[in-house]
């Protein structure tokens, strides 16, 4: 059995457990996201895989394909508007968008270019790689999911 198959079986078992011992949706989501990032199925994510994964996220967010993610593109994705929202509700939506954009470092009015988004310095990957092996395992990958969780599929 390959590592990918083992992770998939573990995920399937966790999802099918009785409600008393059921895996939390966030845990299931983290495993699925890790499996998507681990392109070669070796149960760890290396820097190239992490960069590739982040590039896929960027490309999904960059709806106008100008190689920049703008606060508008990200804001609408993170906190969608509500039809017929009153002024107070609109204010809450705008504030929530601004908070998330600032947290993610994507609040620049001119947008964030792809190279900057991909963190070419590797600071996020280095922070995730707690044991300094040059790869991140599923537990270490949680740092990346935490940093970009709002941008990842639910």
Q: Where are the domains of the chain?
A: 3-151
d(CA 123, CA 77): 25
Nearest in space to 76 (alpha carbons), one of 87, 60, 55, 56: 60
Look up the pTM and report it.
0.69
Contact call for residues 39 and 52 (beta carbons, < 8 A): yes
- Tell me the backbone φ, ψ of residue 118, rounded to 5 degrees: -75, -5
Helix or strand (DSSP H, E) at 11: helix 3-16
pLDDT digits (tens, 9 = 90+) for 19-53: 444 456 677 777 888 888 899 989 999 999 988 88
> Cα 30 vs. chain centroid, distance in angstroms?
9
Map tokens 């590739």 to a residue.
52
pLDDT digits (tens, 9 = 90+) for 71-128: 888 888 878 888 888 999 999 988 988 888 888 788 889 998 998 888 767 888 899 9
């Amino acid at each position: 059995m390959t590592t990918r198959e083992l992770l998939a079986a573990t995920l399937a078992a966790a999802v099918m457990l009785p409600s008393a011992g059921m895996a939390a949706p966030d845990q299931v989501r983290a495993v699925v996201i890790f499996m998507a990032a681990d392109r070669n199925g070796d149960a760890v994510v290396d820097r190239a895989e992490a960069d590739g994964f982040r590039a896929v996220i960027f490309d999904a967010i960059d709806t106008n394909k100008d190689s920049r993610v703008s606060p508008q593109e990200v804001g609408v994705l993170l906190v969608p508007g509500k039809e017929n929202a009153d002024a107070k509700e609109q204010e809450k939506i705008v504030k929530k968008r601004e908070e998330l954009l600032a947290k993610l470092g994507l609040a620049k009015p001119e947008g964030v270019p792809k190279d900057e988004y991909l963190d070419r310095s590797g600071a996020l990957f280095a922070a995730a790689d707690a044991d300094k092996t040059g790869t991140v395992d599923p537990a270490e990958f949680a740092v990346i999911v935490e940093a970009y969780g709002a941008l990842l599929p639910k």
